[in-house]
Each structure stands twice: as C-alpha cells, then as structure tokens.
Chains A and B, each alone.
Chain A
Amino acid sequence: MDFSLTDDQQLLRDTAAKLLQRECPPAIVRAHIDDPAVYEPLWRHLREYTALGAGPATDLCLFLEQTGYAAAPGPFLATALYTSLAGGDGDTTGTVAFLDDPMNPFVLEADRVERIAVIGPGPTVGVVDTDQVRDRLRFVGTIDFSRRAFQFDAVDLDPHLRPIDPEAFAAWRDRAHVSIAAEMTGTARRIFDMALAYAKERHQFDRPIGSFQAIQHKLAEMSLALQRATAAVQYAAMTCDAAAGDRGLACHSAKAAAGEAARRILKDGAQIHGGIGYTWEHDLHLYLRRATADEDMLGTTSWHLDRIAGLLFDVA
C-alpha cells in the first residue's frame, strides 16, 4: 500500500498545475460565460494530454484534479470518458450520452467533440459522428458557466448499439465516477484555498477573521472533508488500475466523499467570504457554480450512497 507519487506522477501533476495556472486563469473562466470560443487556446494545450484517458486512472485523476482546480472549460473530461469507453489513444475527441437514464440526462461538451459514444440498455454502446447528429443537440444552460451541457434527441436514431461486456462496462462506470470525483476535489480545493487566504487577510475587530474560532473550526472541518475526499479519490483510482475487488465500493465512496466535501466547502467558503463573495465581480462564484453542478454529474451524492448500500446489503 503506497500512496506516494512516482517522480513521473509528480512531474505530471506539477506540469498540469503550471499549465492550467498559466492558460486558465479566472479571467478565462469568466470570459467563457459570454464567449465559449475562449477555451480554444487552452484546449490546444490540453489536447496534448488526452492520451491520459487511455492510461491508468491514477495518472488521469492527478490531471483532472488540476482541471477541476482551474474550472477549465473544454472537453478534456468528456474526451477522457469517451476514450476509455470507445477505445483509441485519445487522439479523437469525444463525449458520452446515456440513453433514457434519468441520472445522466445531458451530454457534456457535445458541440466541441468529434464523436459521441451512446450508451444504451443492456449495456450496449454505439459511436456516432457529432456532425451527423448536430441537429439533435440542444444547448442547455446550467448554473455552471465553465461547462456546456446538451440535450440529445435520440428518437429514431440508430447509433448501432452493440453489447458490451458487463464487467468492462462496470469498470468504465467506476472509472467515470472517480474521474468526476477527482475534478470535484480540485474545484473544492480551489474554493478552500480562496476561503483560507481570505480568512487570513480580511480584518474585522482589528484582527484577521481567521483568528476567530468560529471561522477556524469551519475551516478545520472543510479541510478534513477535502483531505478525506482527496484520499478516497486516490484510493479509488488505484482500485481501478488494479481491478481490485472493492473497486465499486471505492469509486462510489469517492464520488460521495467528493460530493459531500464540495457541498460543505462551497457553502462555508461562500460564508467565510461574506458580502464580497456574493458579488458577480468576485471570482468565487465561477468555482461555486462548477462545484455545485458537478454534484449532479454522473450520479448525485445520494445516488452513490444508495449504490454503496446496495453493495453492503444486497450482495451477501
């Protein structure tokens, strides 16, 4: 049992952090509200890393934590999900669409990718060219300006669904859950860092508000939630790479832990910022939005908890 990063993994994480800090400052996330095209220079850099979608989950999650930290717009996560389902080396951009799945009603970044992997009952999977279904896609605005979600009208569409090995599909779903959880812990960490910095610099009653116990204890609990989620994600990613027996439990737990951490941190992070955090001008909301919307992506926290209960109760 070794959680320490290899030299290559540290390099990957540091490279990702630097790249995103440089190419995806808050100004880009903000500009994306009105002009989705601003993601393109960033994407030219991120495209060089899409092969991670075909590689170990541990490496992918290290990178996704950084895209989450930056609330990076663009189809990096979508392409990673597509690649591990449809195959390939990550060179083709893609996203995934769940047919008739109320827990996954929308298709992420569908207008920016070349292919859509369609998941049908069975489980079955088919792949369609985005260009062939563009008129079936309808942009759906959400609270999160950093992502683009689409309704996908699949009525009378034949996506050439073929059966997929249920175990392979279960492995993909688990990997998908830990992937979104990794992004969420990154976004949660961004909000946490902002709240912690603000608690140190903001003075009231002639001292930093971070010296007050009410604020300190909030930050301590936020920090615990973040540490738990980060460790749960790393562990779950390791179970994916090792095809470990507790992979399902670990990945559901990772998404649930990330969901709980993100919700706690975004609420208390906003509270610690006070009035300034409630303004449009402050960057906080860019990340609050992403963290809030992510909880509903690839299964809500409650949905994942119910899957855990199923594994605890209904297997024996």
Chain B
Amino acid sequence: MQLTWGPEDEAFRADLVDFLDTHTPEEVRGGFDFQGDVGDDHELVPQWMRDWQATLFDHQWMIPGYPPELGGRNCTPVQTLIYLETLASRRIPRSGHFPGYAIVAPSLLEFGNENQRAMAPSAIRGDTIWCIGMSEPNAGSDLAGLQTRAEVFDDHFVVNGQKVWTSYATIAQKCFCYVRTDPSLAKHKGISLLILDMDTPGIDIRPLRHLNGMAGFAEVFFTDVVVPRDSLVGALNGGWGITQGSLAHERAGLWVESVGRLEQTVAGLVELAQKFGRVDDPIIRRKIAQFHELASSLRAMGYKGFASFAQGSSAPEHSYMKMATSEAGKAAYELGMEIVGPIAPVTDPAYADVGRWSHGFFMSFANTIAGGSSEIQRNIIAQRVLGLPRS
C-alpha cells in the first residue's frame, strides 16, 4: 500500500500538464460544465468542443491507453487514472458527445470485423458523431425487451420500430442500433447489433427537449429502413453480449469523472455557504461535511477497486460508483438550493450564480436514470456482487 505514484507516472502527469497548459483553449477551461445552449440543436456540440477533441486525438491524449493511431500513447491503466483525474480536476472535457469514443469505438475494436474496426479512429476523434439505439418506449430498464425488428434477408436487413431517449440523434451520422432479429428466441438471445447511416431513407428523427428545456435526445422512428448485411456487428443474434461489453466500457473510467464532479460540487457548496453567510449554521456545516466524507470515501473506494476496474470488462463493482455518485450529486444540489434559500428557484440572469443549483438539481435527475437507473444498479449489486437469487 502506498499513497504516491511512481516516477514514470509522475513524468506522464508532467507531460499531460504541460500539454494542457499550452494547448487548452479558453472555452475548454471549465468546459466540463457545458451542457448545450438552450433550444439550439446546432450548438449541442459546439465547434470549439469538436476542435478540442480532434486536438486531443492528434496529440495522442484522447484515449491515452490506446495506440497512437487510435488517439493514444499506450499508457498504463494507472496513467489513464492520472489522466482522468487531471482533466476532472481542471474541469476539462474530452468530448461533447460520449457515445462514439466511449461506447462505439471500444465495442467495434472488440467485436467488429476489419471494416468496422476501421471506423474506430473517426469515432474517437469525433469526426463521426454516433448515437446509440438502445432504449425504446417499452424497453427502458428492461433493455432486453426491445422490439425494434430487423427482418433478415440474404444481403440486407429491413428495420422497423422506434428508439427513444437517443442522445445526439439529431446531429449523428451513424447509429449503433440494437434490433430484434429473431423473435422466436428468448429475449436476450434474439438481439443483433447493426450500424445504421442516419441519412438512410425511412429514418425519422424527432427531437425531445430535456425537462430543463435543453435539446439533447430524440425519438428515432424506423420505417422499412434497408440496411446492408455487412452492417451487422458480431454474430447474428449475438447483440446482447455486446451491450454488456459496451456498458462496461462506458463505466470503466466513469467513476473518476463522477467522483471528480462530486468533489467539485462539494467545493462549490463550501464557497456557496461562505457567500450566503451560512458558514456558522451548524446544520449546513454538518451536511457539507457529510458530502466531503462521502466523496472522499468514494474516491478511496475507486482507488481500491481500480485494479479490477482497469480490466475494462464488465465489473459489476462499477454499479456501486454509478449509483453512489449519481445519488450523491442529486442530494448535493438539493443542499445547494437549501443554502441559497428562498431565491434558489430564480433563473433571472441578474442572479447569475443562483440558478446553477436549481438547474443542476434538475440536470442531476438524468444521472440516476440514464445508463442504468439506481434501482437497476442495486439489483446488479445484489445479484451479481452479493450473489442473491433473482427475484
């Protein structure tokens, strides 16, 4: 056991800091908090964010654990941790659209054929924007219950159905789309993964506004969409295994960012209490202290589990971090509103900083739902970590 990093890892950090100091544009500093401009779909991923992702890729800092042709420098898992921590502590984002680099590329590299693996670099660089066709009106937590059909022909598929909550669908060029190819099989077994071009005839995209008024996700309808046979990823009816892999990739490094965000929210609470003269309020003090304890213990837990997290495979332990950080984030924003007091709901621009807390509170609702709700995470912990029988 030791608290410090080795000299090679510190040299890695120094290189990173040097790069960030010289290359980070103004908009990107603190860009972690960018959530899209209200009501403007075109600014869902602004140009400065796209440029930044390409810069990271070109300097081998996009996914540092990957080889240079994939935007990395073959660094070790520990160095990836240092990388993610450093970015989180500077509130520097990597990308404005996570599906491509975080889910699609790793899945293509693991399950795709040669042509499909060749799509990974542009997904990681952000040149191609991807959306993920998973959730449906009747397949949310019960993802394996998805009903979008793909009829199988010799040289093509015909897709009919509907996806929902599809993030970035309004600007994506491609969709990583899970479809039912054999309704006669048990529900986990009849699912396949297809790559769809979003401009294929028969795809209808209808934007959905988030409850906070911002653009973000969409409903996507498929009517007799013809998809070439070679767009199948992995085996026919082998899609479920890829979802398990994709979601694991999504979560592998996520805890560092989530804990980093939580720690910054806690630091924000300390400043807020000072600003609003609540520093001597014993209840506020104790509640903030509790968040500090929560965030620091989650960070320690992340470090402790890091060896298994770094494997990248579907470690059910990720469920702890996902559930804990998302629930804590929501509660922390709630405390922020309590500290602000009666003007907490005000969004008038004259009260600039005040709105952050009520706004963040609403935003935080997404985190305990998307990517597997807290209830699903508890099921996973109970059944896959603790070995309790399925209900």
Please give the residue numbers on chain A whose beta carbons come within 8 Å of chain B beta carbons, in ascending order.
Answer: 1-6, 9, 58, 196, 199-200, 207-208, 210-213, 215-217, 219-221, 223-224, 227-232, 234-235, 237-239, 242, 244, 249-250, 252-254, 256-257, 260, 302, 305-306, 308-309, 312-313
Q: Which of A3, A242, A302 has a CB less than 8 Å from the CB of B286?
A: A302
B206 to chain A, nearest CB (A): 34
Q: Which of B274, B282, B293 has a CB less than 8 Å from the CB of A232?
A: B293
Contact residues of B between 362 and 391, Cβ < 8 Å to A: 375, 377-379, 381-383, 385-391
Report 25 cross-chain contacts, Cβ distance below 8 Å, ordered by A residue: A1-B2, A1-B306, A3-B304, A5-B1, A210-B388, A210-B389, A211-B389, A213-B379, A220-B379, A223-B385, A227-B301, A227-B320, A228-B300, A228-B301, A231-B305, A232-B293, A234-B1, A239-B3, A242-B4, A249-B296, A256-B289, A302-B286, A305-B289, A312-B288, A313-B285
A94 to chain B, nearest CB (A): 27
Q: How far is the CA of A30 from the CA of B296 in the complex (A)?
A: 37
**Which residues of chain B are within 8 angstroms of A220 by Cβ–Cβ distance?**
323, 377-379, 381-382, 386
Inter-chain contact A216/B285, CB cutoff 8 Å = no
**Which residues of chain A are within 8 angstroms of B274 by Cβ–Cβ distance?**
313
Q: How far is the CA of A208 from the CA of B377 in the complex (A)?
A: 21
Known: A216-B391, A224-B320. A3 touches B1 (CB 8 A): yes
Who on chain A is nearest to B383 by CB?
A: A216
Known: A223-B385, A231-B303. A2 touches B293 (CB 8 A): no
Is B307's CB within 8 Å of the partner chain A?
yes
Is B62's CB within 8 Å of the partner chain A?
no
**Which residues of chain A are within 8 angstroms of B5 by Cβ–Cβ distance?**
1
Known: A1-B5, A220-B382, A228-B298. A200 touches B388 (CB 8 A): yes
Known: A4-B1, A208-B389, A257-B293. A313 touches B273 (CB 8 A): yes
**Which residues of chain B are within 8 angstroms of A227 by Cβ–Cβ distance?**
301, 320
Inter-chain contact A216/B293, CB cutoff 8 Å = no
Question: Could you say which of A238, A249, A312 has the most chain B C-beta atoms within 10 Å of its C-beta?
Answer: A312
**Which residues of chain A are within 8 angstroms of B335 by Cβ–Cβ distance?**
none
Inter-chain contact A219/B300, CB cutoff 8 Å = no
Please give the residue numbers on chain B whose beta carbons come within 8 Å of chain A beta carbons, in ascending order.
Answer: 1-5, 78, 81, 270, 273-274, 279, 282, 285-286, 288-290, 292-294, 296-301, 303-307, 320, 323-324, 375, 377-379, 381-383, 385-391
Q: How far is the CA of A117 from the CA of B323 in the complex (A)?
A: 45
B149 to chain A, nearest CB (A): 31
**Which residues of chain A are within 8 angstroms of B294 by Cβ–Cβ distance?**
228, 257
B81 to chain A, nearest CB (A): 8
Q: How far is the CA of A312 from the CA of B274 in the complex (A)?
A: 11
Q: How far is the CA of A242 from the CA of B5 in the complex (A)?
A: 13
**Which residues of chain B are within 8 angstroms of A234 by Cβ–Cβ distance?**
1, 300, 304
Q: How far is the CA of A242 from the CA of B2 in the complex (A)?
A: 8
A90 to chain B, nearest CB (A): 21
A-B contact number at CB 8 A: 153
Who on chain A is nearest to B298 by CB?
A: A228
B76 to chain A, nearest CB (A): 13
Inter-chain contact B293/A312, CB cutoff 8 Å = no
**Which residues of chain B are within 8 angstroms of A215 by Cβ–Cβ distance?**
388
Sample of 5 further A-B pairs with CB below 8 A, known A1-B2, A238-B2: A200-B389, A220-B378, A223-B386, A230-B304, A232-B293
Q: How far is the CA of A214 from the CA of B320 in the complex (A)?
A: 17
Q: Which of B270, B293, B377 has a CB less than 8 Å from the CB of A253?
A: B293
Inter-chain contact A309/B285, CB cutoff 8 Å = yes
Question: Could you say which of B1, B273, B290, B379 has the most chain A C-beta atoms within 10 Å of its C-beta?
Answer: B1
Q: How far is the CA of A249 from the CA of B270 in the complex (A)?
A: 15
B322 to chain A, nearest CB (A): 11
- List 4 A-B pairs, minimum CB-CB distance, nearest first: A216-B382, A309-B285, A235-B300, A231-B300
B105 to chain A, nearest CB (A): 27
Inter-chain contact A231/B304, CB cutoff 8 Å = yes
Who on chain B is nearest to A305 by CB?
A: B289
A75 to chain B, nearest CB (A): 27
Who on chain A is nearest to B2 by CB?
A: A2
**Which residues of chain B are within 8 angstroms of A250 by Cβ–Cβ distance?**
296
Who on chain A is nearest to B78 by CB?
A: A1
Inter-chain contact B1/A2, CB cutoff 8 Å = yes
Inter-chain contact A6/B300, CB cutoff 8 Å = no
Inter-chain contact B386/A196, CB cutoff 8 Å = yes
Known: A216-B379, A224-B320, A229-B297. A238 touches B3 (CB 8 A): yes
**Which residues of chain A are within 8 angstroms of B381 by Cβ–Cβ distance?**
219-220, 223-224
Q: Which of B4, B293, B387, B390 has a CB less than 8 Å from the CB of A305?
A: B293
Q: How far is the CA of A199 from the CA of B388 in the complex (A)?
A: 8
Q: How far is the CA of A142 from the CA of B4 in the complex (A)?
A: 42
**Which residues of chain A are within 8 angstroms of B293 by Cβ–Cβ distance?**
232, 252-253, 256-257, 260, 305, 308
Who on chain B is nearest to A208 by CB?
A: B389
Q: How far is the CA of A235 from the CA of B298 in the complex (A)?
A: 11
Q: How far is the CA of A244 from the CA of B298 in the complex (A)?
A: 19
Who on chain A is nearest to B273 by CB?
A: A313
A142 to chain B, nearest CB (A): 26
Question: Could you say which of B273, B296, B305 has the most chain A C-beta atoms within 10 Å of its C-beta?
Answer: B296
**Which residues of chain B are within 8 angstroms of A238 by Cβ–Cβ distance?**
1-3
Q: How far is the CA of A223 from the CA of B377 in the complex (A)?
A: 12
Inter-chain contact B296/A232, CB cutoff 8 Å = yes
Who on chain A is nearest to B381 by CB?
A: A220
**Which residues of chain A are within 8 angstroms of B390 by Cβ–Cβ distance?**
211
Inter-chain contact A305/B290, CB cutoff 8 Å = yes
Q: How far is the CA of A2 from the CA of B306 in the complex (A)?
A: 9
Inter-chain contact A256/B286, CB cutoff 8 Å = no
B18 to chain A, nearest CB (A): 21
Known: A4-B1, A199-B388, A216-B382. A232 touches B300 (CB 8 A): yes
Q: How far is the CA of A230 from the CA of B378 in the complex (A)?
A: 19
A189 to chain B, nearest CB (A): 13
A68 to chain B, nearest CB (A): 18
Q: Which of B273, B306, B385, B387 has a CB less than 8 Å from the CB of A3?
A: B306
Inter-chain contact A219/B386, CB cutoff 8 Å = yes
